[in-house]
Chain A
Amino acid sequence: MTAKLSLGPVLFNWDAEVKRDFYFHIADEAPFDTVYLGEVVCSKRTPFFEPFLPEVIERLQRGGKEVVLSTLALIMSERELDSVRALAGNGGLTIEANDMAAVSLLAGRDHVIGPFVNVYNEGSLEFLENQGARRVSLPWELPSRSLSALASFATRELEVQAFGRAPLAISARCYHARSHGLHKDGCQFVCIQDPNGMEVQTLDGKSFLSVNGPQTLSHSVLNLISELEELQAMGIDAFRLWPHMIDMAKVAEVFRDVLDGTETADEGQRRLDRLVDFAPFSNGFYYGQEGAALVS
């Protein structure tokens, strides 16, 4: 079976119209099979993009993409829970659960398990498949031996994250607001200033992490272009690329070409080197090493 290519939800706070135009471009130009939409990181951002959602969904579907709606990764209030209940009750589109609350609400229905739900082993996978999950997007920190074990066991689709800053942690505290001397409640949405995340360096000037509101991502861009062949051979069905403020349609073309075998991984890597100018690549998690490492 041909491997599928997915575009994860935009994790950063992008201006709503910029985001709409980004998705229009993706809908028309990018070879994604699946596009995940929705606010995963901070519920305060949700209202800005909601007015554009129907036209974006329609355009993506017209472009032949499966649209999946992603839920929040950390749900701390009834208000946030209500938004997940509303999503779960939409009846139309498939939902990606990123928290056990969403898993609960979607039990017994067709749904996707997102990478913020901890699926580390066969027991968890089997339980979630029995609940109705038709695809499970696995955590980024799993090494190849775990991915391989899960792929031999799975009866539904497995997705692996193949490109983008790794979304390492989520918190109740907003570090973007904190770095601006603001409180979360009065954050002034300062996170919009950093469309690929706010750079965090060590005291000796080494780029380290990337802050996105209450989320902390890697500085490096996780990239498994050279591992795609091995992952496909294991039986991984889908590959997720996380959106960044670069030409994601071109990034998708690279992955599509390498997945289809029309281009070698080395050729694909050279194209990615030209497309990604804001951070180095890493693939350490896959090799069971520190995630920041680049194993060649």
Chain B
Amino acid sequence: MTASRLELICPAGNPAALKAAVDAGADVVYAGFADETNARNFPGLNFSRREMEEGIAYARQRGCGVFIAINTYAEAGNPGPWRRAIDDAAALTADAVILADIGLLDYALQTQPGLRRHLSVQASASNAEAINFYHRAFGVKRVVLPRVLTVKEIADLNARIPVETEVFAFGGMCVMAEGRCSLSSYVTGRSPNTDGVCSPASHVRYEKRDGKLVSRLGDFTLNEFSENEAAGYPTLCKGRFVARGDASYLFEEPASLNVMAMLSELAAAGVSALKIEGRQRGRAYVSRVVSAFRQAIDATAQGEPVVSGCLDSVTEGQRDTTGAYDKTWH
């Protein structure tokens, strides 16, 4: 069986990154509105309605699609911002909305049936029964898979579902099942599910202590670095902690997901699209990563070898991992 060419889905945290992604060869860019309706609700990021309209026009003129992420969970008593985001995505003729909340999926189905619905990774749909349910109940056409499955499990899954799958290919990696994690709100009161943020910068502090640089999130120390060590951002699950008397990266080492070496395996597993994480990243990063994946996907489709290692300098901690796709990670 010949696998079809993988679609490349690229992050756009602002109009400059959108243009960079489009120019670097994205098939689709994904973006969010500048509020709590999307899971990268960081200061200075995301799109006004006007910017989204212009971004869609820019992408479309160059043959590129735009998905709009509305992938947080609407607040009880305050559905307005989320419903408006869906209505505006339809009015702006987005190619799809990426949703996680079943209330919003239902709203989109009832009010904007013509708007294509994708299931966000934040819904953490990790098995055929769940995915088929989202398809049946809400007409979901594609699911972004949580970063918990091996390539073999993805292949098995694709044989049992009638919808497309999109998987994360590069960038920051959640170690916990997405949308099922309240670690950030336990420490900061701000949560991916409700506020669209994880380990927010507003709660990060760096302190000098005994010649070491200590990184803190809220009231907790997440890591410390000696002078010759590069200090990473204190994302909660990438901190160094003590268990059984040993200090270690208990949950995950600081590393970026990178599947460039396994593109043909993913295509053979029936995956439709690769997603680059990083709407918080600048245009230089986006341009570099998107170009590298554009070349790698095109090479794979032609049966040519992929030049790996070309993204080493932009990976977190200069390390990469294939994460859950490899059984030994678990």
Contact = CB atoms under 8 A, between A and B. Distances in A.
Interface of A: 73-78, 80-81, 84-85, 99-101, 103-105, 107, 116, 118, 120-128, 139-142, 145-147, 149-150, 153, 166, 168-175, 178-180, 183-185, 198-206, 208-209, 211, 216, 218, 284-285, 288-293
Given A104-B132, A105-B129, A121-B101, A291 B76 contact: no
A218 B186 contact: yes
B180 A170 contact: yes
B185 A291 contact: yes
Contacts of B232: none
30 contacts: A73-B180, A75-B130, A103-B130, A107-B133, A116-B180, A121-B76, A122-B77, A123-B79, A124-B103, A127-B102, A127-B106, A141-B193, A145-B76, A145-B77, A153-B76, A168-B183, A170-B176, A171-B148, A172-B147, A174-B330, A179-B244, A179-B250, A200-B241, A200-B242, A203-B214, A211-B243, A284-B189, A289-B189, A290-B187, A291-B185
Top 4 nearest A-B pairs by Cβ distance? A123-B103, A104-B133, A149-B77, A172-B148
B250 A175 contact: yes
Size category of the B interface is 35 or more
Interface of A is mostly: mixed
Nearest to B179: A118
A169 B180 contact: yes
Nearest to A102: B129
Interface in B158-177: 160, 175-177
B115 interface: no
Contact of A120 (B76, B147, B214, B329): B76
B300 interface: no
B183 A169 contact: yes
A206 B194 contact: no
B153, B160, B194 — which one has the most chain A CB atoms within 10 A of its CB? Answer: B194
B191 interface: yes
Contacts of B176: 169-171, 216
A24 to B, nearest CB: 32
B241 A74 contact: no
A198 B244 contact: yes
A166 B330 contact: no
A232 to B, nearest CB: 18
A293 B185 CA distance: 11
A292 B76 contact: no
Interface centre among B241, B243, B324 (most CB of A within 10 A): B243
Contacts of B224: 203
B129 A202 contact: no
A260 B73 CA distance: 34
B182 A123 contact: no
B101 A171 contact: no
A47 to B, nearest CB: 19
Name the residue in A121, A122, A179, A289 with the highest tally of chain B Cβ atoms < 10 Å from its Cβ.
A121
A267 B181 CA distance: 34
A123 B207 CA distance: 44
B315 interface: no
Contacts of A284: 186, 189
Contact of B130 (A100, A118, A147): A100
Nearest to A219: B186
Contacts of B175: 171, 173
Given A173-B329, A216-B176, A120 B73 contact: yes
B330 A201 contact: no
A257 B32 CA distance: 49
B241 A202 contact: yes
Contacts of B77: 121-122, 145-146, 149
Given A203-B224, A206-B220, A170 B75 contact: no
Contacts of A120: 73-76, 101, 103, 193-194
Contact of A169 (B181, B218, B219): B181
A127 B103 contact: yes
B328 interface: yes
B188 A290 contact: yes
A77 B180 contact: no
Contacts of B206: none
B243 A166 contact: no
Interface string B74-113: 1111010000000000000000000011111011000000
B103 A76 contact: no
B240 to A, nearest CB: 6
A185 B327 CA distance: 9
A37 to B, nearest CB: 21
A76 B154 CA distance: 10
A122 B243 contact: no
B193 A203 contact: no
B134 interface: yes
B106 A123 contact: yes
Given A85-B129, A172-B324, 9 more contacts: A75-B129, A76-B126, A100-B129, A118-B73, A120-B103, A172-B177, A178-B250, A179-B248, A202-B220
A208 B220 contact: yes
A85 B132 CA distance: 14
B330 A173 contact: yes
A128 B186 contact: no
Nearest to A290: B189
B149 interface: yes
B148 A146 contact: no
Contacts of A173: 175, 251-252, 324, 329-330
A203 B221 contact: yes
Contacts of A74: 124, 126, 148, 177, 180
Contact of A141 (B76, B191, B219): B191
